[in-house]
């Protein structure tokens, strides 16, 4: 759907005479796929465009062959392995940051799969391997090459979705999916659909909501077990975890809440476009006024739309900078009145692995990672309000080089036709994806963002040493094969007080420094993968990000804002909507939760992106 729509909107003020000037001249509606946002360059930021490059591509042959380096799973076991010891955000940033970050990610980025397999070698005999796999590798496939690249010119990659922050996670980039998601007929004509989104019992529809599940838009199901139970969202990855699916549901409810406030004599299409306009603005408003500040990202003051800024997503941002899987915490906690759930529900969840704790008339449910993935039934069972509130109640994991096994060692069980177990490692894939996309080395990427190179491994990590401790029982460098090398010797809380394992630690000291392990793996600073070096950098003061990641985010989010003609700060239509219909986009995330669930605003933190101390 590439055409720009101009929708005439009727004011619909009660008691206004038909002859009075009560029509809005019309407002331009952003296309679903981003086409035409920039009038001079209509293809900037559109779905299906190539990712932009800031730095020259780094391929082994200069064209397409991935650069080599330490084996990605081997490296993951030695750098990203948290050995089950969580470290949490020292600034108290809540789980909402990781959740909102994923929701944003699915709005503006999705690479195109290619046909070239490149599984990451997996060694069950590795002494640091704790997760046996029946497959010889972590499943990995190269991204598709952008047309016309990778033969005589360096290979580029395709972004399948619009780069704009247009809430396509709610509305989709595709008119066919959007029509299915709207109430009304599915006949190829969006104009005869209702304004409301399809929300049976106020939750996202399942694949069989319209009868034949085979005619529903496809949804990702890595487990292969969901079948018709998959929930359908504006973006096909919506079922990945319960927090993400709950966020999809929240924004869809907000759309319908706005529709209900609009005058009846507006057409269904007019009401839909007004609600969509406000939801997109609210999504952007929360992203720029809560999410980014909570992480410590500071942008230059907004000076209005700049048509010379290309808002297309950068390859370095999508492939390196925005991969912040370390922030993901391995479990979710829900607290509610004990009478909210039946005993049968509690018994069933407990049998599945949920920890149920009663505290007077309150109940606390701790959902392990094994139940949090691809489980839409659990979202409805826990109920939206308590689940969303729970995301703001506890700190997220620290954004460092340690990645929780929730995403670093996901064990997938399948039978096709023989049964087997495979291990999926997002951290290893992050490393390999950088090589697949021809990412610059760590120091070259720093240079591209105007940062000075790091001359040593301890300069990268900020640690005191890059040498292994002397151990007469081990030969030099043998610590790489010693599981004890990752032991935590000391753990500290946010006040700097040493605590015992299992507490709310925000930092720790291991038997060997990250710098020493990096040195043993790479040998030379000039060969460090960009993602690995970025993750190992210390956090900047008042930020969850290190120096390189901060620079990458700052540039990209400024471009996404400044290059978007429909950005909320540049959109006079939003003021008209507020004056005429009393509908305002300026709600923070806590407001949005309270407006669309039974959780009162007073029961939520002032800023849900920070957990109560």
Mean pLDDT of 581-600: 98
Distance CA 533, CA 539 (A): 13
Mean pLDDT of 396-418: 88
Distance CA 573, CA 323 (A): 34
Mean pLDDT of 442-448: 98
| 79 φ, ψ (degrees, to nearest 5) | -115, -45
When pLDDT is cut at 50, 70 and 90, the band that residue 503 belongs to is confident
Considering the entire predicted model, what is its pTM?
A: 0.94
Per residue in 284-343, pLDDT (tens digit) is: 999 999 999 999 999 999 999 999 999 999 999 999 999 999 999 989 999 999 999 999
Arch. (CATH architecture) of 331-391: 2-Layer Sandwich (3.30)
Least Cα distance to 14 among 263, 320, 286, 362 occurs for 263
Least Cα distance to 311 among 55, 49, 547, 573 occurs for 49
Are the folds of 5-327+399-453+529-603 and 331-391 the same? no
Per residue in 40-63, pLDDT (tens digit) is: 999 999 999 999 999 999 999 999
Structure confidence at residue 406 (pLDDT)? 82
Structure confidence at residue 36 (pLDDT)? 97
Task: Let me know: does 479 contact 467? Beta carbons within 8 Å.
Answer: no
When pLDDT is cut at 50, 70 and 90, the band that residue 27 belongs to is confident
- The gap from C-alpha 101 to its chain's centroid, in whole angstroms, comes to 4
Mean pLDDT of 530-554: 98
Share of the chain above pLDDT 70, in %: 95
Q: Where are the domains positioned within the chain?
A: 5-327+399-453+529-603, 331-391
When pLDDT is cut at 50, 70 and 90, the band that residue 19 belongs to is very low
Rg, C-alpha atoms of the chain: 25
Structure confidence at residue 225 (pLDDT)? 81
Least Cα distance to 490 among 507, 477, 503 occurs for 507
**Tokens 């000076």 label which residue?**
303
Superfamily of domain 5-327+399-453+529-603: Haem peroxidase domain superfamily, animal type (1.10.640.10)
Task: Let me know: does 384 contact 373? Beta carbons within 8 Å.
Answer: no
Structure confidence at residue 17 (pLDDT)? 30
Distance CA 5, CA 33 (A): 13
Per residue in 339-389, pLDDT (tens digit) is: 999 999 999 999 999 999 998 999 999 999 889 989 999 999 999 999 999
Q: What is the mean pLDDT of the chain?
A: 93
Per residue in 446-485, pLDDT (tens digit) is: 999 999 999 999 999 999 999 998 876 666 568 899 999 9
Query: Structure tokens of 544?
Result: 């969850």
Least Cα distance to 150 among 110, 118, 116, 120 occurs for 116
Per residue in 559-589, pLDDT (tens digit) is: 999 999 999 999 999 999 999 999 999 999 9
Query: Structure tokens of 184?
Result: 């009304």
């Amino acid at each position: 759907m590439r055409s720009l729509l101009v929708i005439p909107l009727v004011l619909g003020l009660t008691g206004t005479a038909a002859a009075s000037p009560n029509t809005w001249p019309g407002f331009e509606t952003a296309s679903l796929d981003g086409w035409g946002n920039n009038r001079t360059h209509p293809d900037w930021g559109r779905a299906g465009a190539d990712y932009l490059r800031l730095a020259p591509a780094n391929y082994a042959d200069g064209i397409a062959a991935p650069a080599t380096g330490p084996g990605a799973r081997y490296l993951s076991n030695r750098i990203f392995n948290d050995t089950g010891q969580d470290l949490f955000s020292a600034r108290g940033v809540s789980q909402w940051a990781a959740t909102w970050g994923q929701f944003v990610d699915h709005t503006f980025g999705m690479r195109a799969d290619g046909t070239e397999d490149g599984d990451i070698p997996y060694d069950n005999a590795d002494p640091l391997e704790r997760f046996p796999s029946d497959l010889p590798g972590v499943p990995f496939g190269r991204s598709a090459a952008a047309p016309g690249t990778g033969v005589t010119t360096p290979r580029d990659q395709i972004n399948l979705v619009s780069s704009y922050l247009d809430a396509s996670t709610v509305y989709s980039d595709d008119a066919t999916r959007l029509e299915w998601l709207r109430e009304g007929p599915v006949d190829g004509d969006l104009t005869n659909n209702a304004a409301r989104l399809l929300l049976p019992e106020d939750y996202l529809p399942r694949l069989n909501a319209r009868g034949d599940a085979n005619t529903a838009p496809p949804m990702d199901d890595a487990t292969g077990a969901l079948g018709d139970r998959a929930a359908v969202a504006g973006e096909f990855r919506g079922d990945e975890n319960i927090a993400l699916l709950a966020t999809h549901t929240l924004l869809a409810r907000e759309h319908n809440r706005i529709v209900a406030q609009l005058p009846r004599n507006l057409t269904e299409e007019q009401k839909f476009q007004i609600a969509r306009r406000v939801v997109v603005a609210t999504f952007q408003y929360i992203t720029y006024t809560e999410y980014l500040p909570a992480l410590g990202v500071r942008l230059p003051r907004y000076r209005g739309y700049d048509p010379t800024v290309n808002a297309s997503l950068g390859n370095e941002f999508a492939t390196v900078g925005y991969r912040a899987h370390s922030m993901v915490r391995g479990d979710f906690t829900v607290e509610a009145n004990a009478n909210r759930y039946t005993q049968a529900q509690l018994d069933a969840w407990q049998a599945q692995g949920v920890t149920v704790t009663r505290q007077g008339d309150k109940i606390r449910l701790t959902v392990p990672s094994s139940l949090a993935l691809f489980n839409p039934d659990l979202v409805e069972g826990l109920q939206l309000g308590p689940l969303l509130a729970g995301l703001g109640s506890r700190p997220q994991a620290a954004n460092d080089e340690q990645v929780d096994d929730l995403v670093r060692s996901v064990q997938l069980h399948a039978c096709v036709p023989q049964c087997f177990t495979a291990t999926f490692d997002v951290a290893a894939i992050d490393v390999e994806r950088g090589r697949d996309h021809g990412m610059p080395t760590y120091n070259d990427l720093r240079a591209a963002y105007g940062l000075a190179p790091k001359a040593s491994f301890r300069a990268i990590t900020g640690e005191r040493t890059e040498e292994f401790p002397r151990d007469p029982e081990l030969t030099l460098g043998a610590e790489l094969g010693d599981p004890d090398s990752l032991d935590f010797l000391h753990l500290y809380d946010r006040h700097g007080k040493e605590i015992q394992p299992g507490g709310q630690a925000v930092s720790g000291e291991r038997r060997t420094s990250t710098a020493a392990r990096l040195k043993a793996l790479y040998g030379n600073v000039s060969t460090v993968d960009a993602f690995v070096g970025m993750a190992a950098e210390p956090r900047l003061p008042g930020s969850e990000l290190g120096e390189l990641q901060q620079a990458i985010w700052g540039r990209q989010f400024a471009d996404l804002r400044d290059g978007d003609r429909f950005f909320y700060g540049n959109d006079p239509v939003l003021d008209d909507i507020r004056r005429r219909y009393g509908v305002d986009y300026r709600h923070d995330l806590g407001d949005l939760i309270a407006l669309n669930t039974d959780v009162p605003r007073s029961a939520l933190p002032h800023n849900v992106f920070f957990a109560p101390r």
